[in-house]
A and B are shown apart, each in its own frame.
Chain A
Amino acid sequence: DAGITQSPRHKVTETGTPVTLRCHQTENHRYMYWYRQDPGHGLRLIHYSYGVKDTDKGEVSDGYSVSRSKTEDFLLTLESATSSQTSVYFCAISETGARSDTQYFGPGTRLTVL
C-alpha cells in the first residue's frame, strides 16, 4: 500500500467554522490531489498540487483553499464550512503526473457540517 495518511479520519463541525484536513505521504511523489466523494457523483477534483507551493483548481474548488509547503504534506482548508461541504474527502498521489501514472488514494476523511 502507498504510504498515504489523512487526518482527521472523522470530523463533525458547525456551519461557519474553519476546517483543515491534512494529507501526508511518505512516497516523495510530486503530484497530490484532493477529491470529494458524494453519493451519485463519484469523485470530483477539488484542487491539486504539482510541487511545493504549486497548486491549481479543480472542478469543484469554490469554498476551498489548499497549501503545500513540503513535498509530503497537502492541506485542504474550508475557510467557512457549509452544509453542502458535508462529504468524504480523499487525497491521492501520483509520482510523475503522467497520464499513464497510477493515482494512489488515502483512506479518506468523513466530514459532517451541521
Chain B
Amino acid sequence: AQSVTQLGSHVSVSEGALVLLRCNYSSSVPPYLFWYVQYPNQGLQLLLKYTTGATLVKGINGFEAEFKKSETSFHLTKPSAHMSDAAEYFCAVRTNQAGTALIFGKGTTLSVSS
C-alpha cells in the first residue's frame, strides 16, 4: 500500500525567500511521485513528477523536487518565492492498484507576503 504525508498544513514565506514544502511517502513498490498546485477555485495543475532516472526533477514556475529514497522524501523547493506562488500544493504517489489512481497528501497552503 502507498501513502503520503505532507508536513505542515500551512507555510508562510516572504517574497524572495526560499520555499520548502515537505512530503514523505510510503510505498511497497518503487514510487512514482507527483506535485500538483491548486489555485483558488481551480482544478489541479501538475508541477512536476518523478518516475525513474534523475532524482532531481525540475518543473514549471521554477519549482523543483528531489527524490531521496533513503529518506522516503520528495520535498518541493523554489529558490525565490513570488506572490503568484500563493496556492495549495499537493504531493501524491501513484498506486499500483485501483486503476493506478493517485494517493494524495492532505495539502499544504503556501502564503507569500510582501
Residue among B43, B95, B99 making CB contact with A105, cutoff 8 Å: B43
Does B43 contact A90, Cβ atoms closer than 8 Å?
Answer: yes
Does B43 contact A107, Cβ atoms closer than 8 Å?
Answer: yes
Does A33 contact B32, Cβ atoms closer than 8 Å?
Answer: no
Given A100-B51, A102-B49, A108-B43, do A42 and B99 touch, yes or no (CB 8 Å)? Answer: no
Q: How many of A's residues come within 8 Å of B, CB to CB?
A: 32
- The answer to whether the Cβ of B13 comes within 8 Å of any Cβ in the partner chain is no
Q: B72-114: contact bitstring with A at CB < 8 Å (1 yes, 0 no)?
A: 0000000000000000001000111011111011110000000
Q: Pick the most buried of B32, B36, B99, B102: most chain A CB atoms within 10 A of its CB.
A: B99
Question: Across the interface, which residues of B come within 8 angstroms of A58, CB to CB?
Answer: 98, 101
CA distance A92 to B36 in the complex (A): 13
Does B106 contact A48, Cβ atoms closer than 8 Å?
Answer: no
CA distance A44 to B105 in the complex (A): 10
- Range of interface residues on B (Cβ < 8 Å): 20 to 34
Residue among B9, B51, B52, B102 making CB contact with A43, cutoff 8 Å: B102
- The answer to whether the Cβ of A45 comes within 8 Å of any Cβ in the partner chain is yes
CA distance A40 to B95 in the complex (A): 21
Question: Across the interface, which residues of A come within 8 angstroms of B107, CB to CB?
Answer: 42
- The answer to whether the Cβ of A14 comes within 8 Å of any Cβ in the partner chain is no
Question: Across the interface, which residues of B come within 8 angstroms of A101, CB to CB?
Answer: 100
Given A102-B46, A104-B46, do A56 and B98 touch, yes or no (CB 8 Å)? Answer: yes
Question: Across the interface, which residues of A come within 8 angstroms of B99, CB to CB?
Answer: 31, 33, 48-50, 56, 97
Does B98 contact A103, Cβ atoms closer than 8 Å?
Answer: no
Does A103 contact B102, Cβ atoms closer than 8 Å?
Answer: yes
Question: Across the interface, which residues of A come within 8 angstroms of B101, CB to CB?
Answer: 33, 35, 45, 48, 58
Question: Across the interface, which residues of A come within 8 angstroms of B28, CB to CB?
Answer: none
The 6 lowest CB-CB distance pairs between A and B, nearest first, are A42-B104, A48-B99, A100-B51, A105-B44, A105-B43, A99-B94
Q: What are 5 A-B pairs with beta-carbon distances under 8 A?
A: A35-B101, A43-B102, A45-B98, A56-B98, A58-B98
